[in-house]
Amino acid sequence: MQRTIMDFWVGLFVLAGMVSLLILGLKVGNLTSYNTGESYTLFGNFENIGGLKVRAPVKSAGVVVGRVTDIQFSLETYDAVVTMDINSFYRFPKDTFASILTSGLLGEQYIGLSPGGDEEMLEEGDKIMKTNSAMVLEEMIGRFLFDKAAED
């Protein structure tokens, strides 16, 4: 009798560990907070997307307002075209600024939206005209070293 009770608690503990690993995996994969409700699609052209990935969050003021759904290379403009699905609850002015940012020093990359002051709002299929590409650490170090070498 004592052995079966011990086996039960060990099994329960193992099951709880598996569930917590599943939840952790979903969190890391950005699969837990995806909203399947009403949304509208926006596009943005970026010269360099760095390590931005599909399903990366789109945030405004630190709040997740959407997700990156597609990243393509444009043969016309030779830059990256990022497709974003924005929750229709959140509306942004036409002069919204989109930047590729990083959470912390080595964290994930996401798109940050900074709303402007225009009275017209972005609609389904609109293109965000003001974009700021990702800062690549290697480029910044290279510029710094080049500037230092040019001073000497």
Domain extents for the chain? Answer: 1-32, 39-142
| pLDDT interval class at 148 (50, 70, 90) | confident
Q: What is the mean pLDDT of the chain?
A: 85
- The pLDDT, as a whole number, for residue 32 is 54
pTM assigned to the model: 0.69
- Amino acid (1-letter code) at residue 23: I
- The pLDDT, as a whole number, for residue 149 is 76
The 10s digit of each residue's pLDDT in 65-78 is: 999 999 999 899 89
**Cβ 131 vs Cβ 45: under 8 Å:** yes
User: What number of other Cβ atoms are within 10 A of residue 106's Cβ?
Assistant: 7
- The pLDDT, as a whole number, for residue 118 is 85
Residue with tokens 């043969």: 75
The 10s digit of each residue's pLDDT in 88-143 is: 899 999 999 999 988 876 778 899 999 988 888 888 988 988 888 877 777 778 88
Q: Distance (Å, rounded) from C-alpha 69 to C-alpha 71?
A: 7
